[in-house]
Amino acid sequence: MFELDFLQILACPACRGHLTLEGRESVAALICSGCSLVYPIQDGIPVLLKEEALPLQSWPVGRGSVVSRESSIA
């Protein structure tokens, strides 16, 4: 389960920008608005590797569906 409290200490590994959690429980990712990279969350664990990041344009799922701070991703 990904806890939203971790968002305060996580940063984009490519540009050190702010990450935003978007998506649903089954398909979620951390989005960097600074460099437009998407870091998928697999089994509740964000994959924060530049090599595994996707361009924002190629991640159609969850756009615009920001997860609230009260919830968490399983």
* Distances, alpha carbon 7 to alpha carbons 42, 57, 58, in Å: 16, 22, 23
Residues 28, 23: Cα–Cα separation, whole Å: 4
For the cut 50, the answer to whether the pLDDT of residue 7 exceeds it is yes
Q: How confident is the model at residue 52 (pLDDT cuts 50, 70, 90)?
A: very high
Ranges of each domain in the chain: 4-58
Q: What would the pLDDT profile of 16-40 be if each residue is shown by its tens digit? A: 999 999 887 678 899 999 999 999 9
Predicted pLDDT of residue 35: 95
Predicted pLDDT of residue 67: 46
Q: Are 74 and 35 in contact (CB under 8 A)?
A: no
CATH class of 4-58: mainly beta
For the cut 50, the answer to whether the pLDDT of residue 68 exceeds it is no
pTM to 2 decimal places: 0.76
